[in-house]
Amino acid sequence: MNLRPDQLPALLEKPLAPLYLLHGNEPLLVLEAADLVRAAARRQGFEERETLVVGQGFRWDSLNAAAGNFSLFGGSKLIDLRIPNGKPGREGGDALQRHARNIGNGIVTLITLPELDWATRKTAWLTALSEAGIAVELNAPERERLPDWIAGRLARQQQSAVPEALSFIADHVEGNLLAAHQEILKLGLLHGEGRLSLENVQDAVLNVARYDIDKLRQALLEGDPVRCTRLLEGLQDEGAAAPLVLWALANEIRTLAALSTGLASGQQLAGLLKAERVFDERRRQAIQRALPRLQAAALRAALLHAAKIDRIIKGLAPGDVWDEFLQLVLRLVRR
């Protein structure tokens, strides 16, 4: 069974399921959800917890041994299995399927994983685990949902904030949820319960945003010039490698150009997206919205612009690389 993250706390008030599978791209949220499961297990009489961490040299028969050994205290037992790289391999996949089929009474298994790629999502072992218990995907909120997430966290400590303050916090912690959590806790210590003003927040919140290239690509697809500008400035300030930024932008432009050419020749978008290996649903939707505003000629001009930036990076042409990056993205997000 697949659940939304907000459904998990209420479900844990009921008798525990035999297995909980937690995964996602935000370690803070996965850790907090795992803590909820562990706390529920303690409340419901699971006196013993055995932790297994999959790494180099890990023996998968230890999972079978853990499930077969009764608690030393004669009660129920929680197996806390952690797979940091999300790749159990063939032997591990087989062991996980056997475990899912044979979970005994008095045993609850908690399995934590990182973000899963599209290939892992199709594996037999992941399907078996999901069907044997409760699966929850815990991803960081997207930028547009981040102010609401921050407001919810503030409410936990009996605080609220004006919308401008929530947006200010979101701008300064984007891409770094652990830092956001720390800043929110700091606001609780500094100001106590009540409503926070923009001035309260500005005085307390550090600029801890992690500007990453994937977010720049997404902002480019969404046609957001303000966010593209801010992300480029952040990447420049953090000393991001210009060749890596160029690769990301040029790759996105080439994908859009290929899709545009394919559509013009009468091909179906679904097949074109598969050929270009575009599997992420959010990116697929953003591309579908972007294509109508991007003419083939504009994409060809953008590729020529990217080639010019490449020459500047290599010292073969004059110019300011970061200014050229800005001009490149702005020509693609103009409506």
The mean pLDDT value for 195-212 works out to 82
Measured torsion, CA atoms of residues 4, 209, 200, 163, in degrees rounded to the nearest 10? -50
Global pTM?
0.72
C-alpha 176/C-alpha 170 separation (Å) is 10
Q: What's the confidence (pLDDT) of residue 295?
A: 86
Model confidence over 283-301: pLDDT tens digits?
888 899 899 988 888 899 9
Measured torsion, CA atoms of residues 177, 130, 36, 49, in degrees rounded to the nearest 10? -120
By three-state DSSP, how is residue 234 classified? helix
Give the pLDDT band (50/70/90) at residue 16: very high
308 or 104, greater pLDDT: 308
On whether the CB atoms of residues 169 and 201 are closer than 8 A, the answer is yes
Considering only CA atoms, which of 284, 143, 283, 17 is closest in space to residue 3?
17
Give the pLDDT band (50/70/90) at residue 33: very high
C-alpha 139/C-alpha 29 separation (Å) is 7
C-alpha 133/C-alpha 253 separation (Å) is 42
Pairing of strands 48-53, 107-112: unpaired
Model confidence over 139-169: pLDDT tens digits?
999 888 999 999 999 999 999 999 999 999 9
The mean pLDDT value for 183-188 works out to 91
Domains and CATH numbers, the chain: 2-137 (3.40.50.300), 143-204 (1.10.8.60), 213-333 (1.20.272.10)
Tell me the residue type at 289.
R
Question: Which residues are CB-neighbours of 178 under 8 A, at least 6 positions away?
Answer: 27, 28
On whether the CB atoms of residues 111 and 132 are closer than 8 A, the answer is no
Model confidence over 60-104: pLDDT tens digits?
999 988 887 654 455 689 999 999 999 999 999 999 999 999 887
